Each structure stands twice: as structure tokens, then as C-alpha cells.
Chain A
Amino acid sequence: SQLAEENSWALSVHEGESVTVNCSYKTSITALQWYRQKSGKGPAQLILIRSNEREKRNGRLRATLDTSSQSSSLSITATRCEDTAVYFCATDAGSSGNKLIFGIGTLLSVKP
């Protein structure tokens, strides 16, 4: 079973709108990371939020972490067409600092 998973396969919004991608996980974590992968490219980290943090921002991006419900969200405001990508959450496996488990990903399409 997956240790991290996004809650939606795909989302679609129009440019300028806001969108939220949700993620749930099943074990205690040290940190949770959000990555974006554009078609045919390697993923790029957007935000890393540690277990003792509740919110982290990076420009138009805002990540939250709720360790009691074992969930996280990534919100994007003022979306642009170039935000179109697959968004992954990723968490550690709890036992090793070098194992990172990715969720299934959420495809976000931003339309003009």
C-alpha cells in the first residue's frame, strides 16, 4: 500500500483561479515534500514542510501539514498555464533518511 497519496487523479481550472491538491499519508513522518513534474521532465521540489511546521509558503504556493489527520495540502493561487503539471506529495518511510515515497500524483490542467 502507498504511504503517501494525493486525493484526486486530476483537476482542471482556468487561469487566475486558485486550486488545492490534497495528500494523505499513513505513517508518522519527518517531513513531507511537494514536487511538480512537467511532461517529459524530471520532478522539481516545490516545498518541503517538516513535521513540526503547520504551513509553508513559496511565492504563489502554500503548503499545510496536519499531523493529527495525517494530511497535507498544496494551494496554488493565481494559476497560470505553465502550472499545468503533475503534482506529487512525497514522504519518508520512517525508518531511513534516504527513502522517499511518492504519491500517485495529481494532474493539474490550467486552461486559458
Chain B
Amino acid sequence: AQTIHQWPVAEIKAVGSPLSLGCTIKGKSSPNLYWYWQATGGTLQQLFYSITVGQVESVVQLNLSASRPKDDQFILSTEKLLLSHSGFYLCAWSLEGGNTGQLYFGEGSKLTVL
């Protein structure tokens, strides 16, 4: 069975501090991977997607960057957090393109920037 694991579950960070959020997918080889951001009570905004190791496409940057160092791992990071980075970060995977295939979301990482 496929599993998707996001870490950490929650973080409280100071403005200006660095951030790294991670996502690991087990049980599927070469999935398409996605990062979404969701403000509290808001919609999901796609940030990045990757269809292969080492290649990441930016949709909306929001002063964040993403990397895919391994086939089953997707990392979201920034060197300096802003207050506006607070929210819920969701990693997802699919086997087809995200618009015609099913997206499988992780449980998310809640980020609070103070």
C-alpha cells in the first residue's frame, strides 16, 4: 500500500528563521509530487510540482523553494520565513498529471510564524 508521510506535523518558527518541510512517498515509484499551501480557512494554492528526481517546476513561489533529492522525497524550504508563510502545507502525489489523475494528499504540516 502507498503511504505518504509529511514532517514535521507542526512547527512554530520566528520571522526570519529558516524552514524545511519534508514529504516521503512509499510504495510508488516515480510519482508526480506536489506542494500546496493553505491559509487558515482558505483554499489550496499549488506551489510546486515535480515529475522526476531533480526537476521542480514553480507555480507560485511565495519566497519558498522546493527540491526533489530522491524519487520518493520532496522538500519545501526557505532561508527566511515571513509572517505570510503561516498556514497548512500539504504534499500530494499522483501517477497521472494532476489535472486528470487522482491526487493523494498527506496529512499536512501546520506552520505558525511569529
Contact A99 B44 (CB under 8 A): no
In the complex, per-residue mask of A83-112: 1 if CB is within 8 Å of any chain B CB, else 0 = 000001011110011111111110000000
Q: Is A30 an interface residue when CB atoms closer than 8 A count as contact?
A: yes
B106 and A30 within 8 A (CB): no
Q: Which residues of A contact B32 (CB under 8 A)?
A: 98
Q: Which A residues are in CB contact (< 8 Å) with B49?
A: 98-99
Cβ–Cβ < 8 Å partners of B46 in chain A: 99-101
Interface size on A, residues (CB 8 A): 29
Partner of A91, one of B42, B97, B99, B104: B99
For the complex, give the distance between the alpha carbons of A41 and B105 in Å.
9
Contacting pair B105 A43 (CB below 8 A): yes
Could you tell me if B98 and A100 are in contact, using CB atoms closer than 8 angstroms?
A: yes
**Do A97 and B98 touch across chains, with their CB atoms under 8 A apart?**
yes
A97 to B95, CA, bound (A): 12
Contact B97 A88 (CB under 8 A): no
Q: Name B residues whose Cβ lies closer than 8 Å to a Cβ of A.
A: 32, 34, 42-46, 49, 51, 57, 59, 90, 92, 96-108
Q: A43-B44, A48-B100, A98-B57 given; name 4 further pairs at CB < 8 Å.
A: A41-B107, A98-B97, A99-B49, A100-B34
